[in-house]
């Protein structure tokens, strides 16, 4: 059932847990995400990362939205449609018009006041269409650069978070507390104390990026300390690629592209259902 992301975040907040938001590229990944959610009876969010469209020619916002909407119609669990990291106002509005119920404006590399002003501009425009806005304060860097996850200068400051949310009017806030995007070279250590301080200083649902590879016990802690949306990409993409390689290796010239969907979807669903055990709905 297609459901506004804002409503799903409220469900997560009420249940003191986090919904998991998975990045996807195509029908196989979206289908598997929606079916896995139905299997475990929990809400889920499907996310489009704009650069996968603009840089690699995967699904555009209209096509992505159409796939999520039609697949969500086939299940009873809430399914959200979200635009991940974007700093292009026009692209964000394109996604809004395509039916995304939540869009992320990422101004995390900008000076604070500029991040606030730009987020506010996006929020004013998106809110007029009833669409929610996620913003980022502090900066979640890249796991390939180990220092990104331990650089305290990039972490979110609790007192600034309250001001940021009030002035930008964003609906959800991505926080930098020790995670990073991509494959970790060193095990991350989430700053749970900082997270609980941010949570105490703000009302908005908090979002944890860089979800692949964070140990489960740390995630359990994060989810009861204010994280209501948890983003996962790298692990899911890697598995999809592994499926492709394995299918070729197992079947050689005897394989065919039609059969590939039937091969990979159960593997993807198996991974997704296990991951969703972290969500305590
Ligand atoms: P990973 O690719 O590291 O799992 O992070 C995903 C993410 O944060 C998308 O916004």
pLDDT in tens for each of the 281 residues of the chain?
Answer: 999 999 999 999 999 999 999 999 999 999 999 999 999 999 999 999 999 999 999 999 999 999 999 999 999 999 999 999 999 999 999 999 999 999 999 999 999 999 999 999 999 999 999 999 999 999 999 988 877 778 888 999 999 999 999 999 999 999 999 999 999 999 999 999 999 999 999 999 999 999 999 999 999 999 999 999 999 999 999 999 999 999 999 999 999 999 999 999 999 999 999 999 999 99
**What is the enclosing helix (H) or strand (E) of 132?**
strand 132-137
Residues 32, 268 contacting (CB under 8 angstroms): yes
Question: How far away, in angstroms, is 254 Cα from ligand 1 center?
Answer: 35
**How far is the C-alpha of 223 from the C-alpha of 19, rounded, in Å?**
9
- Is 159 among the catalytic positions? no
* 79 in a structural domain: yes
Residues 81, 103 contacting (CB under 8 angstroms): no
Tell me which residue has its CA closest to atom 9 in ligand 1.
231
Question: How far away, in angstroms, is 48 Cα from ligand 1 center?
Answer: 11
The one catalytic residue among 26, 84, 148, 171: 84
Question: How far away, in angstroms, is 142 Cα from ligand 1 center?
Answer: 10
| Angle value at C-alpha 213, between 141 and 159, nearest 5 degrees | 45
Residues 197, 220 contacting (CB under 8 angstroms): no
From residue 181, alpha-carbon distances to 153, 209, 235 in Å are: 17, 7, 11
Residues 133, 83 contacting (CB under 8 angstroms): no
Residues 171, 197 contacting (CB under 8 angstroms): no
Question: How far away, in angstroms, is 123 Cα from ligand 1 center?
Answer: 23
Q: Which atom of ligand 1 lies nearest, measured to the CA of 181?
A: 3
Lookup: tokens for 196: 């609980």
Query: Total structural domains in the chain?
Result: 1
Residues with CB under 6 Å of ligand 1 are 23, 84-85, 181-182, 209-212, 231-235
Mutate to test the pocket of ligand 1, among 20, 102, 108, 181 (most ligand atoms within 8 A of CB): 181
pTM check: above 0.85: yes
* 35 in a structural domain: yes
For residue 144, what is the DSSP state?
Answer: T
Residues 76, 223 contacting (CB under 8 angstroms): no
Q: Which atom of ligand 1 lies nearest, measured to the CA of 23?
A: 9
173 three-class SS: strand
Question: How far away, in angstroms, is 104 Cα from ligand 1 center?
Answer: 13
Question: How far away, in angstroms, is 233 Cα from ligand 1 center?
Answer: 4
In SS3 terms, 26-86 reads as CHHHHHHHHHHHHHHCCCEEEEECHHHHHCCCCCCHHHHHHHHHHHHCCCCCCEEEEEEEE
**How far is the C-alpha of 281 from the C-alpha of 139, rounded, in Å?**
29
CATH number at residue 225: 3.20.20.70
* 281 in a structural domain: no
Mutate to test the pocket of ligand 1, among 233, 239, 240, 272 (most ligand atoms within 8 A of CB): 233
* 185 in a structural domain: yes
146 three-class SS: helix
103 three-class SS: strand
| Helix%, strand%, coil% for the chain, nearest 5 | 50, 15, 30
* 39 in a structural domain: yes
Which residue range is the domain that position 172 belongs to?
Answer: 5-276
Mutate to test the pocket of ligand 1, among 21, 23, 240 (most ligand atoms within 8 A of CB): 23
Within 10 Å of residue 277's Cβ, how many Cβ atoms?
Answer: 10
């Amino acid at each position: 059932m297609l459901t506004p992301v804002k409503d799903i975040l409220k469900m997560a907040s009420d249940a003191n847990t986090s919904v998991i938001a998975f990045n996807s590229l195509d029908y196989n990944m979206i289908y598997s995400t929606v079916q896995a959610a139905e299997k475990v009876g929990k809400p889920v969010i499907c996310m489009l990362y704009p650069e996968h469209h603009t840089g690699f020619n995967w699904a555009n916002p209209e096509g992505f939205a159409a796939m999520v909407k039609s697949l969500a119609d086939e299940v009873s669990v809430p399914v959200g449609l979200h635009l991940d990291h974007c700093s292009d106002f026009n692209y964000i509005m394109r996604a809004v018009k395509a039916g995304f119920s939540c869009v992320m404006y990422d101004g995390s590399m900008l000076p604070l006041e500029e991040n606030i002003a730009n987020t506010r501009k996006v929020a004013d425009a998106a809110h007029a269409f009833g669409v929610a806005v996620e913003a980022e304060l502090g900066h979640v860097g890249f796991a390939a650069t180990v220092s990104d996850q331990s650089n305290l200068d990039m972490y979110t400051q609790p007192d600034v978070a309250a001001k940021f949310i009030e002035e930008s009017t964003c609906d959800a806030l991505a926080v930098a507390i020790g995670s990073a995007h991509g494959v970790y070279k060193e095990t991350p250590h989430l700053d749970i104390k900082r997270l609980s301080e941010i949570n105490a200083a703000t009302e908005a649902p908090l979002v944890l990026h860089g979800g692949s590879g964070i140990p489960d016990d740390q995630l359990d802690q994060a989810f009861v300390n204010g994280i209501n949306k948890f983003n996962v990409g790298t692990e899911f993409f890697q598995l999809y690629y592994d499926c492709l390689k394995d299918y070729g290796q197992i079947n050689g010239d005897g394989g065919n592209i039609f059969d590939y969907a039937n091969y990979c979807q159960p593997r993807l669903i198996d991974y997704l259902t296990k991951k969703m055990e972290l969500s305590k709905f």
